[in-house]
Amino acid sequence: MPIAGKGMLLTSMDIDAAHEAEFNRWYDREHLEERVAIDGFLEARRYVAHDGKPKYLSLYSTTDFEVHDSAAYRKALASQTDWSKANIARFKNMIRSVARITISRGVGRGAALGIIRLRPPEGGADRLRIALGELLDPAKQDGIISMHLIEGDPMLSRPLTEDAATSSPGAGDWFVLIDGTDVGAVAANATRLTDNAALKPLVIASGVYRLLFDLAKSDLPRG
């Protein structure tokens, strides 16, 4: 499978221009490395929007879904640095999804990523998964490296804030991820899916992002 592991954390957010330089410095110099160092985390990728909202997107792959409810992950969340706390407090339009990787086809990762957010109909998850399984075939699409489906868990995707108990209809949303060689190929393939008559009523949002930084567990300093 092109995505390592079976679980994924997806986060996306906006940041005010006044704090953007520090936000990017923090992500590149501290945050990704801290997260990838957690037991069970395998790799992380962060992106900036070519055409999409929120502006920034990160994907964290884990050995399995249960890592996101593990003691190691809870300990990391409870021991954030002051730098982390300051930057997290500035997030706007935050999206957070703890998800299972249920479809992952192709080989490798692309420099561009398409993302389509879907809301499964009540009682229709199995049918939707089968339908997407027939559509997510990178071998048939020029410029597409790999295609994936991640399915958000409604409980673990709740915000890590004081309003975490608030019900969110989007906490169980699904995301189609399209890895490609350039934004044009990815955008065309995303449109193929969002214009699909069966999928169109389920689409919440879509966008195209450019890769900024990729970090794997094997990249971390030894010591």
What digits encode the pLDDT tens for the residues 104-154?
A: 999 989 999 999 999 999 999 999 999 999 999 999 899 999 999 999 999
At 18-74, the pLDDT tens digits run: 999 999 999 999 999 999 999 999 999 999 999 999 999 999 999 999 999 999 999
The span from the CA of 195 to the CA of 186, in Å, is 14
At 149-187, the pLDDT tens digits run: 999 999 999 776 555 455 577 889 999 999 999 999 999
The span from the CA of 56 to the CA of 58, in Å, is 7
The span from the CA of 160 to the CA of 165, in Å, is 10
- Does an H or E element contain 151, and which? strand 144-152
Taking the model in full, what pTM does it have? 0.95
How buried is 151 (Cβ within 10 angstroms: 0-12 exposed, 13-18 middle, 19+ buried)? buried
Q: Is 80 helix (H, G, I), strand (E, B) or coil?
A: coil
The whole-angstrom distance between residue 99's C-alpha and the CA centroid of its chain comes to 9
E runs forming strands in the chain: 7-14, 41-51, 56-62, 92-106, 112-118, 144-152, 174-180, 203-216
